[in-house]
């Protein structure tokens, strides 16, 4: 019974709705009946102009879609007057005007879709940057407090070495995080069509306000922290300096590639901000370069290898090459015990230290490229062939000959014994 | 001598007739079946002197003689718009809101001459509009939906030429 009532109610509601729609249609027909041709063409022209003007003002995909629907309604509403409109719009046509509007609204729909996609991507990136920012702040704080603890430490050597180990781990994690940040920012910003995003001032404003994910603020923070850290003259190993140098180089490459995009989005005065950052990154570069080369010079001299001082990549490579060329040449002239000792010393430093522990940082930090290292490897092999002293060679040959003679003699004796038994 | 004189007279007369005939031929060239019809009426606003200017069609004139014919008043401009359309034959059909008549005007050199004054309503049409419905001009009242098929002769009784959308529903 209840169901029947519900069905009845629904039918009545449907009838009322249908009546309203019919009345609306009828009114519409009546409305059209007293429209003159002049009003029809004026109505079409006004709506065409309104849609055409609105296309320039569209700010969202939703608006673009609504506009496309409006174009379709315009077409449906006026297609019965196409002959009249063709005369009025000459040399344009009704169909031509509609095609033009559709094309423009479809273009704006696509553009808005791209912008919204970029906008979402940028917002997601900002969330990720915010995460990096928090994490980096925590690691910086931890590194600072550990450094302070080490400075003030009056505890046992064991505890101190524990603190130093933690401090180094913390620095390493921080550098890894900066590299991850650089990778993320490179991938995300490089693929982005900033031409479309730049048109959306509101997105830029939103991103500028959202300091948590402000890429420019993060870049500034990282650079500032690193400069301050380096100016504090930290007592860290050559490997750590090389790692920090590699981080700086990667960071600088990222900035050179994306600095313009980042400042155009996040800074009010783009050029000014970029100039400031360029200077700061240059200072970071100077600081890390100076300390890395000093540390590397120290590390070389500590091994006892006598190399001239070097202060940049090219000088370092030239010094190594010069040293190897001279050593090879000397060995070729006369291989001495002293020369052989120097070879072993250099080989140990090159193989166990430079290649085993530093090679990745050398390449990333533009200290020595993999190609240059391969070239040095080749020269080292050449030196190895010529480094062994001749006296030693004769002894080796004599020893070899003696062993061979003993083996032959042993074999012959064994065969003799077997023969006698049989 | 007389003979020579007569001959010269004949030659002069022949030349005169030939040149007249040639001149006559030039003037008698006619392009027929010209369609002057304007697809859409023009709605013009008169200035304070009653001058309307149809820039699109290149036409400028004073509406004061029409106003005088309609209201016997030329003290000031009493209408804020006039509606005008040109028919197939080239006549201008002119009226204005509240006018009882449609004025069929024939264009001539520097002037328009009244061809026909068609009375369409005793009370005047408050919201008139013209539509081009060849071979007629359709006058509609946008208020009541009434429509009239007009020609330079007057109101035509030709329902079949009236478009359905202009009929009273």
- Can you point out the beta strands (E) in B87-127? 92-95, 101-108, 111-119
B44: helix, coil or strand? strand
Whether residues B142 and A29 touch (CB distance < 8 A) is answered with no
**Any idea what the Cα angle at residue A135 is, between residues A132 and A140, rounded to 5°?**
120
**Residue of chain A whose alpha carbon sits nearest to that of B42:** A38
- Contact of A73 with chain B, judged by CB distance below 8 Å, is answered with no
**Residue of chain A whose alpha carbon sits nearest to that of B146:** A34
Chain B residues whose CB is inside 8 A of the A35 CB are 142, 165
ipTM over 0.90: no
- Interatomic CA distance for residues A416 and A404, integer angstroms: 18
Element (H, E) at A48: helix A37-57
Q: What is the pLDDT of residue A32?
A: 45
- Interatomic CA distance for residues A259 and A275, integer angstroms: 10
- Interatomic CA distance for residues A352 and A49, integer angstroms: 77
Q: H helices of B30-137, where?
A: 64-71
**Residue of chain B whose alpha carbon sits nearest to that of A26:** B169
Question: Whose CA is closest to B52, among B68, B40, B65, B39?
Answer: B65
- In sequence order, what are the beta bridge partners of A349? none
**CA distances (Å), A408 to each of A50, A244, A258, A396, A422, in order?**
108, 61, 74, 18, 22
Whether residues B129 and A88 touch (CB distance < 8 A) is answered with no
- In sequence order, what are the beta bridge partners of B10? none
- Interatomic CA distance for residues A262 and A121, integer angstroms: 14
Helices (H) and strands (E) in chain A, counts: 16, 0
pTM: 0.53
Q: Is there a contact between B84 and B42 (Cβ–Cβ < 8 Å)?
A: yes
Q: Is there a contact between B166 and A33 (Cβ–Cβ < 8 Å)?
A: yes
For B131, the closest of A30, A33, A36 (CB atoms) is A36
Q: What is the pLDDT of residues B72-82, one digit of tens each?
A: 988 899 999 99
Question: Whose CA is closest to A93, among A107, A105, A79, A104?
Answer: A79
Q: Is there a contact between B84 and B120 (Cβ–Cβ < 8 Å)?
A: no
- Contact of B97 with chain A, judged by CB distance below 8 Å, is answered with no
- Interatomic CA distance for residues A268 and A219, integer angstroms: 16
- Interatomic CA distance for residues B95 and B120, integer angstroms: 10
Question: Whose CA is closest to A137, among A184, A181, A183?
Answer: A181
A and B: number of Cβ contacts within 8 A: 46
- Contact of A84 with chain B, judged by CB distance below 8 Å, is answered with yes
Q: What is the residue-level pLDDT of chain A in tens, covering all 422 positions?
A: 344 455 444 445 434 433 433 333 333 334 445 789 999 999 999 999 999 999 989 888 899 999 999 999 999 999 999 999 999 898 999 999 999 999 999 999 998 888 888 777 777 777 777 777 777 777 777 777 777 776 666 666 666 677 777 777 877 877 777 777 777 766 666 666 555 554 545 555 555 555 455 778 878 888 888 888 888 877 788 988 998 898 898 888 888 887 887 787 778 788 898 899 999 999 999 999 999 999 999 999 988 888 899 999 999 999 999 999 999 998 888 878 888 888 999 999 999 989 888 988 898 888 999 899 999 999 999 998 888 876 656 667 778 888 888 888 888 888 888 877 76
């Amino acid at each position: 019974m209840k169901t029947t009532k519900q069905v009845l109610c629904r039918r009545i509601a449907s009838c009322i709705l249908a009546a309203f729609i019919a009345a609306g249609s009828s009114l519409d027909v009546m409305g059209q009946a007293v429209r003159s041709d002049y009003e029809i063409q004026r109505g079409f022209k006004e709506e065409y102009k309104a849609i055409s003007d609105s296309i320039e003002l569209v700010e969202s995909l939703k608006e673009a879609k609504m506009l496309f629907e409006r174009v379709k309604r315009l077409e449906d509403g006026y297609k019965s007057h196409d002959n009249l409109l063709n005369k009025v719009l000459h040399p344009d046509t009704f169909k031509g005007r509609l095609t033009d509007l559709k094309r423009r609204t479809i273009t704006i729909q696509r553009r808005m879709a791209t912008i919204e996609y970029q906008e979402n991507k940028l917002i997601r990136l900002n969330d990720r940057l915010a995460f990096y920012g928090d994490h980096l702040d925590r690691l910086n704080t931890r590194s600072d407090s550990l450094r302070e603890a080490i400075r003030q430490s009056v505890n046992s050597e064991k505890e101190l070495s524990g603190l130093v180990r933690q401090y180094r781990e913390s620095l390493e994690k921080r550098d890894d995080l900066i590299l991850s940040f650089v990778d993320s920012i490179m991938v995300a910003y490089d693929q982005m069509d900033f031409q479309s995003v730049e048109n959306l001032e509101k997105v830029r404003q939103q991103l500028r306000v959202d300091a948590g994910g402000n890429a420019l603020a993060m870049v500034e923070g990282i650079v500032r922290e690193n400069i301050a850290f380096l100016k504090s003259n930290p007592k860290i190993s050559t490997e750590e300096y090389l790692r920090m140098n590699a981080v700086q180089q990667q960071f600088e490459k990222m900035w050179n590639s994306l600095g313009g995009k980042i400042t155009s989005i996040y800074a009010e005065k783009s050029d000014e901000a970029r100039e400031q950052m360029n200077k700061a990154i240059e200072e970071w570069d100077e600081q890390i370069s100076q300390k890395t080369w000093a540390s590397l010079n120290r590390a070389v001299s500590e091994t006892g290898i006598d190399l001239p001082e070097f202060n940049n990549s090219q000088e370092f490579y030239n010094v190594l090459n010069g040293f190897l060329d001279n050593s090879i040449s000397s060995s070729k002239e006369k291989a001495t015990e002293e020369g052989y000792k120097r070879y072993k010393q250099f080989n140990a430093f090159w193989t166990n230290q430079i290649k085993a522990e530093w090679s990745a940082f050398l390449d990333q930090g533009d200290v020595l490229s993999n190609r240059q290292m391969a070239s040095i490897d080749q020269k080292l092999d050449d030196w190895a062939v010529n480094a062994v002293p001749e006296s030693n060679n004769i002894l080796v040959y004599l020893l070899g000959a003696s062993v061979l003679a003993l083996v032959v003699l042993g074999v012959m004796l064994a065969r003799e014994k077997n023969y006698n038994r049989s | 001598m007389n003979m020579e004189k007569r001959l010269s007279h004949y030659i002069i007369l022949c030349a005169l007739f030939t040149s007249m005939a040639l001149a006559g031929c030039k003037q008698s060239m006619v392009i027929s079946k010209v369609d002057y019809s304007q697809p859409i009426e023009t709605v013009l606003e008169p200035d304070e002197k009653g001058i309307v200017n149809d820039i699109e069609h290149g036409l400028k004139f004073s509406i004061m003689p029409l106003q005088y014919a309609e209201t016997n008043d030329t003290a000031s401009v009493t209408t804020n718009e006039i509606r005008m359309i040109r028919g197939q034959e080239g006549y201008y059909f002119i009226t204005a809101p509240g006018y009882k008549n449609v004025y069929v005007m024939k264009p001539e050199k520097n002037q328009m001459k009244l061809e026909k004054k068609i009375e369409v309503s005793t009370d005047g049409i408050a919201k008139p509009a013209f539509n081009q419905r060849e071979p007629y001009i359709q006058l509609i009242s946008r208020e009541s939906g009434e429509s009239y098929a007009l020609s330079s002769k007057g109101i035509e009784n030709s329902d079949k030429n009236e478009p359905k959308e202009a009929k009273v529903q």
